[in-house]
Amino acid sequence: MVQEIYLLRHAAPDRASGVPYNIVPGPPLTAVGRSEALQAGRWLAQHTISAVYVSPFARTRQTAAIVSEHVVAPFAYVEGLREGGPGEDHASVTRRVTGFLDTIHAHNLQRVLLVTHGCCVLATLQVTTQGQIDLNGHTYDYGNKSPTAGIWHGVARGDGTYAWELAFTPTSASSNG
């Protein structure tokens, strides 16, 4: 079982780009997003990461590329962490994320970083706490449970669940709840 998970939501995307949001490649990062990713990378540099898993969307790949300047670990792009597709409901995202988590738990990794999207952040938090996480006070842009470039840190408990805290929020991220 993975001992620690760092769960990084992509940095601020260019929603005005005209590129469809939930179809690959999706929109790129904004200048603010690049700054957020740099802040996240600097914060993550203080932690030893065993492996990094990244959604294939442009905004997550760009976030991961900036983070990779500060984190020395192998990177892999995985479909299990992609944005929710057209017509894909939360239950489908949760099944996809659960399958991915089962795969990485089979490896003996100490700390992993997942660079993903709000829907996968929520699914990961719910799955790894058996639905017991209290996300009151964690509502950000578009109803996400993490700010852009926010990092949740989860530590494995003896019962197979994780204890989570929102460990990092970039200075440019804002909350609406």
Domains of the chain (ranges, CATH numbers): 4-168 (3.40.50.1240)
The side-by-side arrangement of strands in the sheet containing 75-77 is 75-77, 51-54, 111-116, 4-9, 151-156, 162-168
Predicted local distance difference test score (pLDDT) of residue 50 = 96
Per-residue pLDDT at 176: 35
pTM: 0.95
- Per-residue pLDDT, 172: 67
pLDDT tens for the chain, 177 residues long, are 999 999 999 999 999 999 999 999 999 999 999 999 999 999 999 999 999 999 999 999 999 999 999 999 999 999 999 999 999 999 999 999 999 999 999 988 999 999 999 999 999 999 999 999 999 999 999 999 999 999 999 999 999 999 999 999 999 654 433
Instruction: Give the residue from 34, 5, 22, 15 showing the smallest Cα distance to 170.
Output: 34
